[in-house]
């Protein structure tokens, strides 16, 4: 894939970048390796200062980043601004809490004094996607750098200007040079980067296919990997749910970012007693979401990130119809220049159809009917993915029991699945492994070292 910005609202190529040669990549990795020698010995206080200054720059440049995201992947500027501000909060979060999360632990073992310490390891490679171009990068960079590691970013090839603007923010902040670098490389160079001695691990957010390739390359090189892959989150509506609130939240979750989110509600599993009333409400909510120009400050839903992604989702919709699904809303490509796809609802598709097992990465809600709560649980767990999920019921005790049965890394009861810095974020099954955010995230790329005084 060429490294280039293409405006999905118009289809026009905005800027093309030449991919770095392997010599350029090696030179950048060597510079980052040199920086690691100082950065690993910096105090937590200094690292926190650097993170706070980065947070300040992200806030100052919120409009610039929002504009670049609208330009390169069609995110409405209003959502882009919220994303950048959220990224700033994760810097503040680790500046505030990172040191406590990595404090040396003291314990007595068999009469000996022992310590467990968390020390930095080297350079972490971040292979990142285009759907949240700022948040995803800062979410992994903040804890990784606070732990004393350095980082190189291989961003998705369709968001190079976002990638360079992130690097620029690091350069202009208090961070020393070469603690964080953007590599302008395609997927083909990732394996070589992993062979570099200074690179100690990789975290990837993206598709299952990319995850398998990069995890394999990491394994061959005995480098640690953290994988945040796709999801097909169940949104379970029980008979006693607050249908209005569930429908409003479900529509937002499904259509936010034009449906291109790993933790979006994707499979709506609805108790038979409220099946039709819920669909009526969901349809009203999704209909009210207006698509439009991402540069317009009032737009809630922009185009999809590329024409290819729109083709992919439309193909899934067509195959869903072939599998018995009925279109209740949308499903037609609008006549406009951009890669727009409307909010769409498909109901009554066979749960066993192959296509219903796929991740729908666009604003398409699949609605399935469950005979009872147990069947709803079985359907929720009958998926190769296990990222997030939500349960909607007014009986909190029952809801909590069911939430515990959902096979996923993150479950909300009567709420929209979202990532929050204090909570671990990540999946099970084909949604990946390892955790980001929280104490668990900052401890992914450290040497958990035991020291024992005999
Ligand atoms: P990819 O998974 O292909 O891209 C994500 C990142 O991985 C990009 O930086 C990409 O680089 C890189 N990459 C892809 N393949 C390889 C490889 N073989 N070796 C090394 N790096 C690789 O996402 P797509 O853009 O193709 O999106 C397709 C699907 O991925 C979506 O429909 C969705 O299902 C899923 N996805 C999930 C995301 C999530 O948040 N979980 C985010 C984005 C996508 P490059 O851009 O240069 O190819």
Same domain? For 107 and 67 the reply is: yes
Q: Is the CB of 190 under 6 A from ligand 1?
A: yes
Ligand 1, atom nearest to 127 Cα: 9
Cα of 184 to ligand 1 centre, how many Å? 15
For 43-54, the pLDDT digits (tens) are 999 999 999 999
Say what the pLDDT of residue 373 is. Answer: 98
Candidates 186, 135, 181, 224; CA nearest to 443 is 224
Question: Would you say residue 426 lies in a domain?
Answer: no
Spatial neighbors of 222 by CB under 8 A, at least 6 apart, are: none
For 353-410, the pLDDT digits (tens) are 999 999 999 999 999 999 999 999 999 999 999 999 999 999 999 999 999 999 999 9
Spatial neighbors of 371 by CB under 8 A, at least 6 apart, are: 272
Same domain? For 329 and 188 the reply is: no
Cα of 198 to ligand 1 centre, how many Å? 24
Same domain? For 243 and 214 the reply is: no
Say what the pLDDT of residue 1 is. Answer: 75
Question: Would you say residue 425 lies in a domain?
Answer: no
Cα of 129 to ligand 1 centre, how many Å? 6
Question: Would you say residue 222 lies in a domain?
Answer: yes
Integer Rg of the chain from CA: 22
Residue 64, both tokens:
């610039």
Say what the pLDDT of residue 109 is. Answer: 98
Q: Is the CB of 356 under 6 A from ligand 1?
A: no
Say what the pLDDT of residue 168 is. Answer: 98
Say what the pLDDT of residue 423 is. Answer: 98
For 373-383, the pLDDT digits (tens) are 999 999 999 99
Candidates 415, 286, 284; CA nearest to 341 is 286
For 285-310, the pLDDT digits (tens) are 999 998 999 999 999 999 999 999 99
| Per-residue burial over 149-163, b = 16 or more CB atoms within 10 Å of its CB, e = otherwise | bbbbbbbbbbbbbbb
CA distances from 12 to 5, 141, 293, 338 (A): 9, 31, 15, 9
Identify any residues that bridge with 420 across adjacent strands, giving them in sequence order: none
Strand ranges (DSSP E) for 75-175? 105-109, 112-120, 123-127, 150-154
Q: Is the CB of 262 under 6 A from ligand 1?
A: yes
- Dist. CA 235–CA 392, nearest whole Å: 8
Mean of the pLDDT values across residues 263-279? 98
Segment among 1-5, 103-107, 174-178, 339-343 with least mean pLDDT: 1-5
Percentage of the chain surpassing pLDDT 70? 100
Same domain? For 109 and 176 the reply is: yes
Residue with the two structure tokens 């509506």: 237
Q: What is the CATH number of the domain that holds 87?
A: 3.40.605.10
Task: Name the phi and psi angles at 395, rounded to 5.
Answer: -95, 95
Q: How confident is the model at residue 37 (pLDDT cuts 50, 70, 90)?
A: very high
CA-nearest residue for atom 28, ligand 1, is 207
User: In which domain, by residue range, is 147 found?
Assistant: 3-229+431-453
Number of domains making up the chain: 2
- Dist. CA 404–CA 434, nearest whole Å: 19
- Dist. CA 381–CA 134, nearest whole Å: 31
- Dist. CA 443–CA 119, nearest whole Å: 9
- Dist. CA 82–CA 94, nearest whole Å: 19
| Average pLDDT of the residues of the chain | 98
Spatial neighbors of 374 by CB under 8 A, at least 6 apart, are: none
Cα of 231 to ligand 1 centre, how many Å? 13
Question: 199: burial class by Cβ within 10 Å (0-12, 13-18, 19+)?
Answer: buried
Q: Is the CB of 306 under 6 A from ligand 1?
A: no
Q: What is the CATH number of the domain that holds 303?
A: 3.40.309.10
Same domain? For 172 and 308 the reply is: no
User: How many other C-beta atoms can be found within 10 angstroms of the C-beta atom of residue 451?
Assistant: 11
Same domain? For 190 and 246 the reply is: no
Question: Would you say residue 256 lies in a domain?
Answer: yes
């Amino acid at each position: 894939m060429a490294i280039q910005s293409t405006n999905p609202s118009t289809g026009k190529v905005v800027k093309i970048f030449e991919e770095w040669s392997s010599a350029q990549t090696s030179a950048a990795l060597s510079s980052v390796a040199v920086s690691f020698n100082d950065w690993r010995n910096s105090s937590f206080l200094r690292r926190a200062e650097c993170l706070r200054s980065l947070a300040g720059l992200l806030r100052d440049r919120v409009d610039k980043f929002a504009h670049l995201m609208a330009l390169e992947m069609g995110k409405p500027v209003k959502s882009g601004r919220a994303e950048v501000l959220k990224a700033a909060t994760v810097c503040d979060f680790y500046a505030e809490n990172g040191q406590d999360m990595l404090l040396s632990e003291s314990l007595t073992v068999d009469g000996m004094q022992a310590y467990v310490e968390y020390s930095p390891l080297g350079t972490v490679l971040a292979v990142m996607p285009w759907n949240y171009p700022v948040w995803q990068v800062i979410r992994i960079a903040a804890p990784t750098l606070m732990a004393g590691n350095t980082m190189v970013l291989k961003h998705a090839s369709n968001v190079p200007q976002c990638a360079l603007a992130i690097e620029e923010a690091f350069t202009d902040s208090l961070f020393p040079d070469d603690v964080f670098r953007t590599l302008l490389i395609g997927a083909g160079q990732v394996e070589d980067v992993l062979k570099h001695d200074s690179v100690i691990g990789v975290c990837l957010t993206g598709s299952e296919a990319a995850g398998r390739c990069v995890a394999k390359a990491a394994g061959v090189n005995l480098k640690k990997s953290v994988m945040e892959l796709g999801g097909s989150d169940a949104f379970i509506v029980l008979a006693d749910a607050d249908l209005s609130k569930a429908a409003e939240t479900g529509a937002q979750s499904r259509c936010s970012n034009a449906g291109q989110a790993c933790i979006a509600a994707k499979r709506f599993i609805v108790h038979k007693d409220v099946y039709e009333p819920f669909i009526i409400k969901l349809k009203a909510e999704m209909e009210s979401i207006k698509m439009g120009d991402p540069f317009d400050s009032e737009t809630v839903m922009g185009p999809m990130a590329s024409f290819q992604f729109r083709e992919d989702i439309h193909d899934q919709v067509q195959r869903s119809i072939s599998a018995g699904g009925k279109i209740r809303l949308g499903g037609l490509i609008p006549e406009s220049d951009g890669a727009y796809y409307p909010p769409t609802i498909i109901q009554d598709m066979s749960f066993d159809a192959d296509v219903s097992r796929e991740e729908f990465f666009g604003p398409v809600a699949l609605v399935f009917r469950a005979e009872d709560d147990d069947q709803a649980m079985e359907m929720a767990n009958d998926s190769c993915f296990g990222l997030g999920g939500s349960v909607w019921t007014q009986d909190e005790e029952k809801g909590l029991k069911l939430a515990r049965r959902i096979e996923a890394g993150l479950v909300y009861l009567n709420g929209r699945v979202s990532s929050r810095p204090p909570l671990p974020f990540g999946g099970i099954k084909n949604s990946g492994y390892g955790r980001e955010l929280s104490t668990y995230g900052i401890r992914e790329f450290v040497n958990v070292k035991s020291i024992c005084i005999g």
